[in-house]
Amino acid sequence: MRQVISVRDIEELIRRGENVRSLPDDALLTPSARDFLRDLEGNGVYKVTDSSNGTPIAAAAPKNITTKSSKADIDAFFRCADIHKLKEEICDVGKRLWQRAYVDGNGGNIAIRVSDELVLCTPTLVSKGFMKPEDICFVDLEGNQFCGPKKRTSEILMHLEIMKRQPRAKATVHCHPPHATAFAVAQVEPPTCMIPEIEVFIGKVPIAPYRTPGTPEMGKLVADLVDQHNTVLMGNHGAVSWSHVSVEDAYFKMEILEAYCRTVWVASQLGAPLKTFSAQHLQDLLKIKQTLGIPDPRIGLKECELCDNNEWRPGVSCAAPLPVTREDSSTVDGEAEKVVQQITTMIMERMAKP
């Protein structure tokens, strides 16, 4: 016998945070139930098909959810279709992190801010390559967990600290990509003016000092850097990025950073001097960056300050302009080569120690 669904049944379903799609396909909607669902259409997120005529109908998840909202409303919001889509995006990014070996064991974590004070995040002790949407947790900006059967990651405190300090941060990704992490272990900031991609989408990458993972102190040290930088290396640990666009965009920064660190590392082994492009070329990239709405503290700096790589090449400063090659105006950087050799030796020595 076909189930008859009344307005009260639908209200109860939403109150329990269940998906209206769970209604049986052949359920009979009472006329008032059909009107009720249609009234919710447009701002709703649950899509169901009216079995009597096949037209799509929708029921809404609660809006303007805050930490003060009722448990039922927070649960319903956590289970709605829009949030489900974001959970799937987190799982997708987790899979890509794992496939690229940017995470190991249960390492790495991902978060998306869905309201001023509520955040979706990954659980603890789960491989990022095999997460399911139902594993995702729901926390406030202090790390208190509201929903999700699994316990949230302890490292969420760092993500939340970034979101508190950087209001534009919609999503954050933390992982341990080996080449980028090697720079963090060697405490060497990646050099600049070598590959355009990182200059446009990231910029300079600072290193936050090491603290025990999951401690508030670790989060604060990283957060100190996120007003100027969208990607930060964490000393003796890994890397974290934030995006004002999406979780995929935050993940892209990890791909760009890791590819860059790998390329610089490989280039440093080739025995030829590394070249940087000129400060004028970087100016051009910063202009592109501005049109994309990506901030960079170097916008507005003098040309001579742009590619000085002071941290990476001690002693090179504005007063010592880089030589220009005849053919393509890019600069041959003997100093960089020397420092790469020094870094290589330093890292190899450290690795050789027990």
Whether 88 sits among the annotated catalytic residues: the reply is no
Size of the site for Zn ion (CB under 5 A): 1
Which x/- pattern over 190-219 shows residues binding Zn ion (rule: CB under 5 A)? ------------------------------
Query: Measured from the CB of residue 201, what is the shortest distance to Zn ion in angstroms?
Result: 22
Q: Which run of H or of E encompasses 276?
A: strand 274-276
For Zn ion, which is the closer residue by CB, 94 or 238?
Answer: 238
Catalytically annotated residue among 12, 89, 155, 199: 155
For Zn ion, which is the closer residue by CB, 187 or 236?
Answer: 236
Task: For residue 339, count CB atoms less than 10 angstroms from its CB and return exposed for 0-12, middle for 13-18, buried for 19 or more.
Answer: buried
Q: Are 249 and 171 in contact (CB under 8 A)?
A: yes
Q: Are strands 118-121 and 109-113 parallel, antiparallel or unpaired?
A: antiparallel
Query: Measured from the CB of residue 108, what is the shortest distance to Zn ion in angstroms?
Result: 6
Q: What are phi and psi of 317, to 5 degrees?
A: -140, -175
Terminal Cα-to-Cα distance of the chain (whole angstroms): 73
CA–CA separation, 70 and 198 (whole Å)? 44
Residues numbered 216 to 245 that lie near Zn ion (CB under 5 A) are 238
With CB atoms as reference, the residue minimizing the distance to Zn ion is 238
Which CA distances in Å does 173 have to 126, 209, 246? 15, 18, 10
For Zn ion, which is the closer residue by CB, 27 or 182?
Answer: 182
Query: Measured from the CB of residue 211, what is the shortest distance to Zn ion in angstroms?
Result: 12
Residues numbered 156 to 175 that lie near Zn ion (CB under 5 A) are none
Query: Measured from the CB of residue 234, what is the shortest distance to Zn ion in angstroms?
Result: 7
The residue behind tokens 């936050």 is 208
Residues of this chain that interact with Zn ion (CB under 5 A) are: 238
* Catalytic residue IDs: 155
